[in-house]
Amino acid sequence: MSDQYKKLAAERAADDVTSGMRLGIGTGSTAEFFVHALARRVQDGLDVIGVPTSERTRKLASSLGIRLTTLDELPELDLTVDGADELDPHLSLIKGGGGALLREKIVASASANMIVIADGSKEVATLGRFPLPIEVVPFGLEATRRAILKVFGDLGLPLNMALRGGSAQPFVTDGGHFILDAQLESIPEVQTLGDRLVAIPGVVEHGLFIELATKAYVAGTDGVKTVLPI
């Protein structure tokens, strides 16, 4: 049923898109449902232009006839629609399970509004159950890893982190970086952790999306509900 719920949330978000909009288009399984829903509306005459957040999304959207551009050509967007790995009542998010967190955050930050689409399993009272992705530069990886663990220790968080893909064949992002996934269980001080992580020179970006989402459509057994930040 999870895919059905994702599809319902994505279709509800697609209904919010109006002609003339400049759209950020997210990455991941839920975002792909949005791309298909948006493509159907484009085929019916909707006039929009999109900025994809990953090569994967770019290929899918292009194949379905959605007109695309880049943030260099269109640096200000009206709306980004994207999924999330977790969302809390403040609409703070954990994103990056698909490995596109840097581009996703750049696009979301360039948008006037961001709609999150998700199934009900992604709602949590406190972020942290889903591993937090941290995108890092390959150079000096061990020094960066130790600096991150020191931050976790200072904040009383578990010292449990792994290189995505493993050292033999690490996952490489579209930007050519690695991802460290941190099993933190619960993140009571989201803003503090985010600020401490981005201050580490080897950290490119982290998967905490704070004060970016303006609305969420969350689908479950009772249909699609609208969630606004408290």
Residue 1, pLDDT score: 64
Task: State residue 2's pLDDT score.
Answer: 87
In the predicted model, residues of the chain with pLDDT beneath 70 are 1
Residue numbers annotated as active site? 104
What pTM did the predictor assign? 0.95
What single string gives the DSSP state of each residue in 93-155? EE--TTS-HHHHHHHHHTEEEEEEEEEGGGB-SSS-SSPEEEEE-STTHHHHHHHHHHHHHHT
